[in-house]
Amino acid sequence: MRHDRSAERDVNAGRRFWFACAAVAIALAWPLPVQAQDPDPDPDSPAHAAMGTTPFTIQGFGDLNYVSSAVDDEFGGFKNGALDLFVTSRLGNHWSAVVELVFEADDNALTADLERFQFTYEHSDAFRVSAGRVHNPLMRWPVMNHHGLFNQTPSESPIIARWEDEAGLWPMHFVGLVAEGRFRNAAGLRYAFGVGNGRGAAIDEIQVTSDANGNRAVLAAIGVGPDALPGLEVFGSVYVDQIPAASGSLRERDATLSASYAQRDIELRGEISWMRHRDETTAVTHKTMGWYVLGAYRLPSRLARLTPYVLIEKLNVADGEAFLAGTPDEEALSAGIRWDATRWIALKGDYRWGKVAGAERSGAMRVQLAVNF
């Protein structure tokens, strides 16, 4: 008897299941009232008409390297360089946007860094202002070459122009406002002035959300590019900040002198920069100095795709400064050649003979394939 009732319950449950399925199917298939549907966007509205029509350009830069030997007694070998995605967009007659996103290998792990994110209003050659994360015009190297190694003649950047995440000492990025321009006169007067967040508590910290101590960093640069000497540029720049270092507040005063001549087949560049950190607690001032000189010459005639170059550089780090702890003095001489296989492909090879404080002088060979796509 119990078996019959159990069977009857199973039959009823089965019927209820199929009735439920049929109800759901009818509900899904039943046409909904027209007035219950969301209206389509107005195709004549300004927002809808402009959607997807913003001029948008993306370029890529990348490099692959082979190094004969590496630092700290590591083995040499192939090394993936950085993938630099450079995005630009024209937002009107005077407005534009720039994004530079770099993917790079760090201890066999891929990391992504938003290197630049800026919006620019350009009134004329004499005045444009950028807001966001920009490259610091304290030095000319980062604002001329940026992150793509294809843009520069040698395979590596100078010691003093290394980025923060490459154990660089100088502030290469700046988050804030930067106004700059060039006047059309015989001297070719140029300027830059900026105010923004300063350094963080660590040397590689870029303050992108706020300034930890509320003291804004200020930078100023002035230079000339005379019409009588095409290709010649001379700049002087200063950077002032208050660093909330873990070892105590530091007053930073940096200054750079830059000169370059790039015309036809000749490229000559040089910069010298001084960094002064005054400990506000002990009143002790630490002085760091670095410089580089680059010379390159594109060969004539059938060898015009070849550009031999020499890079000489030196870094003297202040003794006993906690903020720069672990960064040794360094000097190097690099000699190499660049072959522009096509407009978008460059093959570089050089030998770097250098010395790091506390170690013997050593050399390393590097071969680099750099592309722009």
Residues 246-296 pLDDT 10s: 888 999 999 999 999 999 899 999 999 999 999 999 999 999 999 999 999
β-pair type (56-69, 330-342): unpaired
Q: Are 219 and 235 in contact, with CB atoms under 8 Å apart?
A: no
The CA R_g of the chain, rounded to the nearest whole Å, is 29
- CA nearest neighbour of 275 among 252, 258, 291: 252
Taking only the tens place, the pLDDT of each residue in 133-143 is: 999 999 999 99
Residue 174, token pair as written in the block: 């700046």
Name which of 198, 278, 205 is nearest 239 in CA terms. Answer: 198
Q: Nearest 10 degrees: CA dihedral of 227, 135, 145, 142? A: 90
Q: Give the distance, in angstroms, between the CA of residue 250 and the centroid of all CA atoms in the same chain.
A: 26
- Residue 105's pLDDT is 82
The phi and psi torsions of 271 (rounded to 5 degrees) equal -145, 145
Would you list the domain boundaries of the chain? 46-372
Average pLDDT of the chain, as a whole number: 87
Residues 143-162 as b/e (b if ≥16 CB within 10 A, e otherwise) read bbbbbbbbebbbbbbbbbbb
* Weakest-pLDDT range from 199-203, 289-293, 332-336: 199-203
- Confidence (pLDDT) at 311: 98
Pair 158, 172: CB distance under 8 Å = no
Which string of b and e fits 245-276 if b means at least 16 CB within 10 Å?
Answer: beeeebebebebebbbbbeeeebbbbbbbebb
The number of beta carbons lying within 10 Å of the beta carbon of residue 71 is 11
Q: Which fold has domain 46-372?
A: Porin (2.40.160)
Strand partners, 82: none
| 127, 179 contact by CB (below 8 A) | yes
Average pLDDT over residues 157-184: 95
Q: Are 100 and 172 in contact (CB under 8 A)?
A: no
The whole-number average pLDDT for the span 28-33 is 43
Distance CA 167, CA 204 (A): 7
For the beta carbon of residue 243, count every other beta carbon within 10 angstroms.
26
Mean pLDDT to the nearest integer, 334-357: 96
How far apart CA 360 and CA 264 sit, in angstroms, is: 39
pTM for the full predicted model: 0.83
225-253: pLDDT as tens digits: 999 999 999 999 999 999 999 888 999 99
SS3 15: helix
Residue 107's pLDDT band (cuts 50, 70, 90): confident
State yes or no: pLDDT of 40 exceeds 50. no
Q: Report which of 292, 294, 290 is spatially closest to residue 318, judged by C-alpha positions.
A: 290
Does residue 83 register a pLDDT over 90?
A: yes
Task: State residue 186's pLDDT score.
Answer: 87
